[in-house]
């Protein structure tokens, strides 16, 4: 089954926005105060969209709560992974593994997967892996694997929950526990730093985070269960945009990363033409 054109456009736009705010704010504070303000900014800015499109049915709540739990889990395992292995190695390994795990979960769930979808997911994952700039050893893999599980679980669960809710509403409600939790922790552990983090960088980062998430949710809402692996893989195409954006900002270029972008583009092309 061909991926809807609208879903393809939405998820590629999500990947671009994700890459944009990551490149622009790569040096932003990663402390608890910065994280709390970023989450709160995104939550507040997304509120008008969620409320204007409000739709949430009772069957959506179990899925929504699981998604909220996975968001908290993602934050925990990502910070733990970065403490155990270099971020520039852990992150692409986790992002490359995520779509493969979604593919495996979809197959285990009985979804009919076409050969071209499997090839496209494989190409995109391989391209992301090519962006790894360090050695992938057992330490890196064990640190990245829990992150990949959370990346895989989120779209898989959301695809079911979105049958009963508007994407904007679903995203906003799933962000509420994490936003409240990080603010509560920051008020206890980093209260003096909260005011300093209320600045353009954190506000725009929060806006970028929710916009990228909202676009991805809208794409998932348009996809069938068998198309979730393709959507999950396309979320990782940010590398396509990271290469030119990084060059424009820092004038840095890596032939290996560029090759990874080409392989990712090949995967996207397979999804687009089939």
**3-state secondary structure string across the chain:** CCCCHHHHHHHHHHHHHHHHHHHHCCCCCCCHHHHHHHHHHHHHHHHHHHHHCCCECCCHHHHHHHHHHHHHHHHHHHHHHHHHCCHHHHHHHHHHHHHHHHHHHHHHCCCCCCHHHHHHHHHHHHHHHCCCCCCCCHHHHHHHHHHHHHHHHHHHHHHHHHHHECHHHHHHHHHHHHHHHHHHHHHHHCHHHHHHHCCHHHHHHHHHHHHHHHHHHHHHHHCCHHHHHHHHHHHHHHHHHHHHHHHHHHCCCCHHHHHHHHHHHHHHHHHHHC
To the nearest whole number, what is the mean pLDDT of the chain? 83
CA distance 155 to 150: 9
pLDDT at 224: 83
Between 148 and 248, residue with greater pLDDT: 148
Between 154 and 108, residue with greater pLDDT: 154
- 0.85 cut: is pTM over it? no
Q: Could you report the per-residue pLDDT of 55-64, keeping only the tens digit for each? A: 999 999 999 9
Range in 103-107, 160-164, 221-225, 247-251 the model is least confident about: 247-251
Q: Could you report the per-residue pLDDT of 249-268, keeping only the tens digit for each? A: 666 666 777 777 778 878 77
Summarize the confidence of residues 169-191 as an average pLDDT. Answer: 91
CA distance 212 to 235: 9
Structure tokens at 165: 């809710």
Q: Considering just the CA atoms, what is the radius of gyration of the chain in Å?
A: 18
Structure tokens at 78: 């990502």
Structure tokens at 180: 């409240």
Per-residue pLDDT at 27 exceeds 60? no
The distance of Cα 153 from the centroid of its chain, to the nearest Å, equals 11
Per-residue pLDDT at 164 exceeds 90? yes
- Which range of 41-45, 156-160, 185-189 scores highest in mean pLDDT? It is 41-45
Summarize the confidence of residues 157-168 as an average pLDDT. Answer: 95
């Amino acid at each position: 089954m061909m991926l809807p054109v609208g879903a393809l456009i939405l998820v590629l736009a999500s990947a671009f926005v994700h890459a944009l705010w990551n490149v622009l704010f790569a040096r932003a504070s990663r402390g608890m105060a910065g994280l709390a303000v970023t989450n709160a900014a995104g939550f507040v800015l997304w509120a008008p969209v969620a409320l204007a499109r409000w739709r949430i049915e009772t069957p959506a709540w179990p899925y929504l709560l699981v998604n909220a739990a996975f968001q908290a889990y993602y934050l925990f395992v990502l910070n733990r992974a970065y403490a155990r292995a270099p971020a520039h190695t852990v992150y692409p390994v986790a992002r490359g593994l995520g779509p493969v795990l979604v593919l495996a979960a979809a197959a285990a769930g009985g979804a009919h997967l076409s050969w071209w979808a499997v090839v496209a997911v494989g190409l995109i994952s391989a391209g992301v892996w090519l962006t790894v700039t360090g050695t992938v050893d057992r330490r890196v893999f064990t640190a990245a694997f829990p992150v990949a599980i959370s990346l895989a679980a989120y779209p898989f669960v959301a695809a079911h929950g979105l049958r009963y809710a508007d994407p904007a509403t679903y995203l906003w409600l799933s962000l509420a526990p994490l936003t409240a939790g990080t603010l509560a922790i920051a008020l206890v552990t980093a209260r003096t730093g909260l005011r300093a983090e209320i600045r353009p960088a954190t506000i725009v980062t929060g806006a970028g985070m929710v916009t990228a998430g909202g676009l991805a949710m809208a794409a998932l809402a348009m996809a069938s269960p068998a198309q979730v692996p393709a959507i999950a893989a396309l979320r990782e195409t940010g590398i396509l945009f990271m290469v030119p954006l990084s060059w424009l900002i820092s004038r840095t270029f890596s032939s290996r990363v560029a090759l990874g972008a080409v392989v990712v583009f090949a995967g996207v092309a397979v999804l687009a033409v089939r």
